[in-house]
Amino acid sequence: MPLPARFSRVFTGLFHAVLTLLLIASLSGLQAQDVDQALYDAGEKVFKGNCASCHKPDANMTGPALKGARERWDGKGDIYAWIRNSQEYLKTGNEYANKLFEEWNKSVMTPMALSDEEIDAVLYYADNYAPPAPKGGGDVAQAPTGPTDAGSLWPWMLVLILLFVVVALSLTGVKKSLANAVQEAEGREPLPDRTFVQSVQEWAWNNKGLATVIGLAVTVWVVLALWNFAWTIGVYGGDEVAHYRPEQPIAFNHTLHAGSAGDGNLAINCQYCHSGAEKSKHAGIPSANVCMNCHQAVNQGRTEAGTADIQKIYAAVGWDPETMKYTGEPEPIRWVKVHNLPDHVYFPHDAHVAVAKLECQECHGPIDKEMTVAEQWAPLTMGWCIECHGDKAVKLAGTDNGYYEEMHRRLIENEKLGHRELKKWLEDEKVTVKELGGWECAKCHY
Amino acid sequence: MTLHTRSLPALSALVILAACGGDPNSPGIEYMPDMYRSPAVEAYVDYGQDPYYFEDSAVVAQRNTQSARLPVAGTVPFSQDPAKAALNFPYPYPNTPEGYEQAGAELRAPLPMTEANVEQGKVIYEKFCVHCHGPKGEGDGSVVKNGGYPVPPSYTKADPPGLKSLPEGKIFHSLTYGKNVAMGSHASQLTKEERWLVTRYVQFLQNGGNMPGALPAETADTVATDQDTAAN
């Protein structure tokens, strides 16, 4: 016998011996202390390829947790036959198998063409399952970004100014009592007790020119400050003000769910949840059944706070994670609306998403990259709308939109005929929203 | 004490400015709050805000009015387009293992297997399916890779649990009701027509990303079976 073949025989023998030992160990209820990494990995591979759609190693999902399955089956039937073809095995009338089938809502398990070794490996993997360390990304405790950082300097400046005023005032007081002491020592009347305002008035009277200049400067500064402040009233986004970023009942992390896969995030398309964006005026806050499309299977967050928030979804839809059934007692989630437009102005999402083919981020900012808390990024003022309508080129061709296709056709065909208006539009080599009527009042105020 | 009275304006100015400085929970000052928040229930009205001028009872009533509603019981979306007549009918198969098998055996797509339909299906697939099922339907999407989500069976593998030979009726049924615990119902996000378009794209992926050259017998006579389904 050639050497390699002998080796392989020895190895197979050893493998089977180890397997038998492990089997005996698990059958007698003993946990193997040292995990056989090769067998574990082999089991993981088979598990991920065949079982992971419906089973978890350590928790119930569509089917029961595989951990301890062999123990549960011990003496009650043939687990190998059951795994290979459950429907066939049910016909043998095995009591435990039929009980399981009833318990799990009669869901039929796909027949699996697995060898005994593969089944052993899977069960070994499940019994020794150690959850992997969580991957990066989705850091909830990120510092908020944006103009709030610059704004936080203000209070400190004011404290400094206040401190200066207090020191100046007390120094004036000290100076005055010293002067009075001198007056008293020289036997003269103490200085008249003037208030701060009176002394300022006296100083201004004596320095009229300088006082006028300072007074004017202060007035201009105050008027300008008020004017600028007035522009920010009712504006919750943009570069001028701190973004409106209300605390939500569930701290949904947009970065974790929609961020790029390269950073360890889930990269779910925005429209998976906001599926109204293409069809309706509203992009829509997803109803909780959309959350449950995934969270039926995902009940653990990456952080403890995340896990707690997932429980809030369960409370909202009335889902009992223990029995994996709906209780029929839902309680709506009271989301706080972030983007508010005044009444009498209308913004249709469908026209901007489906027709104009804008990216969500053009108005909502880097919500998938930086915003762990949803915030209003754009100012949503009329000036902001108008500016974009006046500047943005309409993507006329290739939008599958009959209206624009027709516009495009006329532009192409009529230019030769000297259609003046159309030619004027094309002077800057683009057709803007404004040129198609995007500045008409009734476009937005209807 | 004179010092206190003198510093009062400065102190109050400090308090006011600090208050305006940026509480992220506050939407700030509004010129005309009643124009921002009308008493009529609007979609996604913010329950957290005071509507200012209304009586307490009205405030409570508004806060407890849900703007997201279910469609009226017994109604179905209706299209006047005769080509889409089959889509108007309610879905006849129940959400049971038997219904799943029955749909697989009987249900046929009302949309033909054309390049245009596959192309439209692809757009929908890449928004609604790709993050779990992966770009080629091999079950390697970002949610599976980065989120440790249960691995969906591959569309391109024939051996169980591979879904290469899954019939269109079962694909549509799974989209409508969901499948197992890992896949939820997508009926609230996708219309029937969109679900059929996705089904066509999934079939395209089952075929290894090629247009099925010779269509399977049951899809060739789509129109006839379609009318049968409608008549049922």
Interface confidence (ipTM) of the complex: 0.79
The upper half-sphere exposure of residue A81, i.e. CA atoms within 13 Å in the direction of its Cβ, equals 12
Contacts of B97 in chain A (CB under 8 A): 106-108
Confidence of residue B222 (pLDDT cuts 50, 70, 90): very low
* Cα(A388)–Cα(A378) distance, integer angstroms: 12
Q: A135 and chain B: CB distance < 8 Å anywhere?
A: yes
The pLDDT of residue A187: 79
In Å, how far is B182's CA from the nearest CA of chain A? 5
pLDDT of residue B218: 46
Q: Is the CB of B7 less than 8 angstroms away from the CB of A285?
A: no
Give A185-192 contacts, CB < 8 A, sequence gap 24+: none
Task: Report pLDDT for A131.
Answer: 73
Q: What is the pLDDT of residue A128?
A: 83
Higher pLDDT, A201 or B7: A201
B18 compared with B65, residue with greater pLDDT: B65
Q: Looking at beta carbons, which residues of chain A come within 8 Å of B46?
A: 336-337, 340
- Better-scored residue on pLDDT, B7 or A109: A109
For B48, the closest of A151, A246, A271 (CB atoms) is A246
Of the candidates A49, A42, A60, A50, the one whose C-alpha atom is nearest the C-alpha of residue A128 is: A42
At residue B59, the pLDDT reads 65
CA quadruple B163, B168, B169, B172: dihedral, nearest 10 = 90
For residue B62, give both structure tokens: 């508004």
CB pairs under 8 A between A and B: 195
**SS3 state at A135:** coil
- Across the interface, whether the CB atoms of B30 and A233 are under 8 A apart is answered yes
CA–CA gap between residue A161 and residue A123 (Å, rounded): 72
Three-class secondary structure of residue B168 per DSSP: helix
Count of CB atoms situated within 10 Å of the CB of A12: 10
What are the residue ranges spanned by the domains of chain B? Answer: 24-69, 82-231
Q: Could you say which of B2, B142, B189 has the minimum Cβ distance to residue A267? A: B142
Q: Which residue of A has its CA nearest to B183?
A: A293
**Out of B3, B21, B29, whose CB is closest to A154?**
B21
Topology of the domain covering A12-127 = Cytochrome Bc1 Complex; Chain D, domain 2 (1.10.760)
Residues constituting chain B: 232
pLDDT, residue B45, reads 66
Question: With 0-12 CB in 10 A as exposed, 13-18 as middle and 19+ as buried, what is A316?
Answer: buried
Q: How confident is the model at residue B33 (pLDDT cuts 50, 70, 90)?
A: low
Cα B132 from chain centroid (whole Å)? 15
Query: At CB < 8 A and 24+ separation, what contacts does A438-446 make?
Result: A438/A389, A438/A390, A439/A386, A439/A389, A439/A390, A444/A345, A444/A346, A444/A347, A444/A385, A445/A344, A445/A345, A445/A346, A446/A346
State the best of A322, A340, A346, A381 to mutate against chain B, taking most chain B CBs within 10 Å. Answer: A340
Using a CB–CB cutoff of 8 Å, tell me whether A112 touches chain B: yes
CB distance A269–B131 less than 8 Å? yes
Cβ contact, residue pair B160, A241, below 8 Å: no
Query: What is the DSSP pairing of strand A319-320 with strand A325-326?
Result: antiparallel
In order along its 446 residues, chain A shows pLDDT tens digits of 455 555 555 556 555 655 555 555 554 444 445 778 888 888 888 887 778 777 888 777 777 888 888 788 887 888 888 888 887 788 888 888 888 888 777 777 877 778 888 888 888 888 888 776 554 444 444 444 444 444 457 778 889 999 998 998 888 888 888 888 888 888 777 777 777 788 888 888 899 899 999 999 999 999 999 998 888 887 888 887 888 888 899 999 999 999 998 888 999 999 999 999 998 888 888 989 999 999 988 888 888 899 999 999 999 999 998 888 888 888 888 888 888 887 788 899 998 998 888 999 999 999 888 888 889 999 988 999 999 999 988 887 766 777 787 777 777 776 666 567 777 777 777 888 888 888 999 988 87
The model's pTM is: 0.72
CB contact under 8 A, A290 and B43: no
**Residue of B34, B38, B126, B146 best to disrupt the A interface, most CBs of A under 10 A:** B146
Chain B nearest-CA distance from A115, in A, is: 14
Q: Which residues of A touch B184 (CB under 8 A)?
A: 289-290, 292-294, 296
DSSP track, A347-396: --HHIIIIIS---THHHH-STTTT-SS----S---HHHHHHHHHHPBP--
- Classified as helix, coil or strand, B179 is strand
Which chain A residues contact residue B146 at CB under 8 A? 135, 137, 261, 264-267
* Interface contact A340, partner B, CB < 8 A: yes
Residue B18 in this model has a pLDDT that exceeds 70? no
Candidate from A131-140, B16-25, B156-165, B168-177 with smallest mean pLDDT: A131-140
Q: How far is CA B116 from CA A232, B113, B159, B201, in A?
A: 49, 8, 30, 10
Q: Which residue, among B225, B227, B187, B216, has the nearest Cα to B113 in the 3D structure?
A: B216
Contacts of B30 in chain A (CB under 8 A): 233-234
> Which residues 38-97 in chain A show a CB within 8 A of chain B?
48-50, 52-54, 56, 61-62
Give chain B's mean pLDDT: 77
Q: What are the chain A neighbours of B37 within 8 Å (beta carbons)? A: 340
Write down the CATH superfamily of domain B82-231.
Answer: Cytochrome c-like domain (1.10.760.10)
Residue A308 CA to residue A301 CA, distance in Å, equals 8
> Exposed (0-12), middle (13-18) or buried (19+): which is B44, by Cβ within 10 Å?
middle
For residue A109, the chain B residue with the least C-alpha distance is B161
List CB contacts (< 8 A) between A332 and chain B: 66, 68
Amino acid of residue A119: I
Q: Mean pLDDT highest for which of A77-86, B122-131, B147-156?
A: B122-131
Asked which of A138-142, B29-33, B55-59, B113-117 is least confident by mean pLDDT, the reply is: A138-142
Section B149-169 average pLDDT: 87
Bond prior to B161 in cis (omega within 30° of 0)? yes
- Given a cut of 70, is residue B106 above it in pLDDT? yes
